[in-house]
């Protein structure tokens, strides 16, 4: 794992190289996805079945056969060991309680001319959530995507999850039952995204697609944006830790591991002004690495995109946080609240040495669907607001029509739009 210092000559260039991530679409992936989406758009059920049979090795004669009934979802929930079921329920409750405090309500006001202005807030009619399957099975993904949709009041939630060779993850199905997902289809890949975006005879078109996936899923979401809404096109997972050197080094090393184990392109960075502490963390990384089941992935991630960086002080660390704009930020310092006002760009901020990022992944409450690849500079975590729309309300009074009509007519004439001007002036008496 590389060591850097902000005092080093060439540090800026080294940091830029460290943060660089090629997010451009692979032309071969993009071409494959374009072909699949076009086929799904044209042939619907038949195309989805063809690709599901090919990629997931599932035999079915109709798409309806790939829908999991509610009875099976409920049975999966009941079949879980009590400890697992209780943990799942506790996580779902905490996430729901947090999101219930996010809701935006319809509101209006009356201005000085008696015009009523405001916004009407309404939920999406239908949302689609993509949940990875096969080797990767994440019940937490179900909770984090379905819960804000439910709290927002979405009319119907349709979940797609691939089940290669028919292998269904009971925790994922249980999470679907627990969060109130309406329909679940065992399909995945670009074909599932296409089915959600365009609709088929069996699977209705949704208004927005959320949830993570592989390169083909990401490319498909990118392509269907505009036909439907999407949450984001996420890059590799990231963690940035700011530490004052007073947290147990083993804790920090494992926090770095918690993101590095996702995949080889994940990024884990530690900022600290104490060089001796960085040495202790480096030693802990080597000591604990050998016992990690996913050590090969962790090693590749840390060696490829990880770093231990010495900063001059915590103020400089905060400035670097804003430059990096990480998905996950841990402020593992004695007075984290003092640093918070200095942080402008981060997906989720974990305050104090007891706030490990792993808690946020599962059960702290806030959503774990977060902006990556510096997009925290302009975007936010998934929330209830992502499943709501706002319609402007404009109710003009008789008196307001006179004042507004004159203003609008004058501006319309300036833009060379006489019909606009006439329409505005028709409401003015005389």
Q: Active-site residue 327, yes or no? A: yes
CB atoms within 10 A of CB 165: 8
Residue 93 corresponds to which tokens in the numbers above?
């409750």
Q: Quick one: 27-230 is in which CATH superfamily?
A: Nitrogenase molybdenum iron protein domain (3.40.50.1980)
Cβ–Cβ under 8 Å, residues 236 and 266: yes
Q: How far apart are CA 94 and CA 47, in angstroms?
A: 40
- Angle at the Cα of 379 from the Cα atoms of 378 and 384, rounded to 5 degrees: 150
Angle among Cα 181, 37, 385 to the nearest 5 degrees reads 40
Q: In what order do the strands lie in the sheet with 116-123?
A: 107-110, 116-123, 388-395
Catalytic pick among 67, 238, 327, 330: 327
Q: What are phi and psi of 128, to 5 degrees?
A: -115, 135
* 345 in active site: no
CA separation for the pair 301, 177 (Å, rounded): 35
DSSP letter assigned to residue 44: T
Domain with CATH 3.40.50.1980 in the chain: 2-21+237-357, 27-230
Work out whether strand 267-272 and strand 307-310 pair parallel, antiparallel, or are unpaired: parallel
- CA–CA distance, 50 with 180 (Å, rounded to integer): 29
How much of the chain, in percent, has pLDDT values that exceed 70?
A: 99
- The candidate with the shortest Cα–Cα distance to 18, out of 244, 301, 316, is 301
* Residue 361 and residue 327 in contact, taking contact as beta carbons nearer than 8 Å: no
Q: Does domain 2-21+237-357 have CATH number 3.40.50.1980?
A: yes
Angle between helices 170-179 and 139-152 (to 10 degrees): 10
Q: pLDDT by residue for the chain (430 residues), tens digit each?
A: 999 999 999 999 999 999 987 655 789 999 999 999 999 999 999 999 999 999 999 989 999 999 999 999 999 999 999 999 999 999 999 999 999 999 889 999 999 999 999 999 999 999 999 999 876 689 999 999 999 999 999 999 999 999 999 999 999 999 999 999 999 999 999 999 999 999 999 999 999 999 999 899 999 999 999 999 999 988 899 999 999 999 999 999 999 999 999 999 999 999 999 999 999 999 999 999 999 999 999 999 999 999 999 999 999 999 999 999 999 999 999 999 999 999 999 999 999 999 999 999 999 999 999 999 999 999 999 999 999 999 999 999 999 999 999 999 999 999 999 999 999 999 998 7
* C-alpha 101 chain-centroid distance: 19
Q: Which residues contact 101 (CB under 8 A, 6 or more apart)?
A: none
CA atoms in the 13 A half-sphere facing the CB of 222: 19
Q: What is the pLDDT of residue 111?
A: 97
Q: Which tokens hold the place of 397?
A: 């009074």
Q: Is residue 307 within 8 Å of residue 4, measured between CB atoms?
A: yes
8 A C-beta contact, residue 244 and residue 333: yes
Q: State the catalytic residue, choosing from 238, 328, 330, 368.
A: 328
């Amino acid at each position: 794992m590389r060591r850097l210092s902000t005092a080093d000559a060439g540090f800026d260039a080294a940091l830029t190289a460290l943060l660089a991530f090629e997010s451009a679409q692979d032309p071969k992936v993009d071409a494959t996805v374009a072909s699949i989406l076009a086929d799904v758009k044209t042939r619907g059920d038949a195309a989805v079945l063809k690709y599901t049979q090919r990629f997931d090795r599932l035999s079915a004669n109709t798409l309806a056969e790939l829908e999991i009934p509610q009875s099976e979802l409920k049975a999966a929930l009941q079949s879980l060991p009590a400890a697992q079921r209780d943990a799942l329920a506790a996580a779902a409750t905490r996430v729901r309680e947090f999101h219930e405090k996010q809701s935006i309500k319809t509101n209006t006001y009356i201005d000085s001319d008696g015009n009523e202005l405001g916004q009407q807030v309404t939920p999406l009619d239908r949302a689609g959530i993509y949940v990875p399957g096969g080797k990767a099975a994440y019940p937490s993904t179900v909770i984090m995507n379905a819960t804000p949709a439910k709290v927002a009041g979405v009319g119907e939630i349709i979940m797609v999850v691939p089940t290669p060779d028919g292998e269904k993850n009971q925790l994922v199905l249980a999470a679907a039952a627990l969060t109130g997902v309406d329909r679940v289809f065992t399909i995945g890949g670009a074909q599932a995204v296409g089915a959600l975006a365009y609709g088929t005879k069996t699977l209705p078109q949704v208004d927005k697609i959320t949830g993570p996936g592989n390169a083909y899923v990401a490319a498909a979401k990118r392509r269907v944006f505009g036909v439907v809404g999407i949450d984001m096109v996420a890059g590799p997972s990231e963690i940035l830790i700011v530490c004052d050197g007073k947290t147990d080094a083993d804790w920090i090393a494992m926090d770095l591991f918690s993101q590095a184990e996702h995949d080889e392109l994940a990024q884990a960075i530690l900022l600290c002004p104490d060089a001796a502490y960085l040495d202790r963390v480096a030693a802990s990384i080597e000591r604990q690495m050998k016992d990690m089941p996913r050590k090969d992935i962790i090693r590749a991630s840390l060696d490829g995109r990880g770093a231990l960086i010495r900063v001059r002080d915590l103020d400089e660390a905060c400035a670097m946080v804003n430059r990096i704009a990480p998905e996950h930020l841990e402020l593992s310092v004695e007075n984290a609240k003092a640093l918070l006002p200095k942080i402008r760009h981060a997906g989720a901020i974990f305050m104090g040495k007891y706030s490990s990022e792993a808690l946020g992944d599962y059960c702290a409450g806030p959503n774990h669907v977060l902006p990556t690849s510096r997009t925290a500079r302009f975007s936010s975590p998934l929330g209830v607001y992502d499943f709501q729309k706002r319609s402007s309300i404009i109710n003009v009074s008789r008196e307001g029509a006179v004042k507004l009509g004159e203003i609008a007519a004058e501006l319309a004439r300036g833009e060379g739009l006489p019909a606009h001007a006439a329409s505005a002036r028709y409401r003015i008496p005389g």
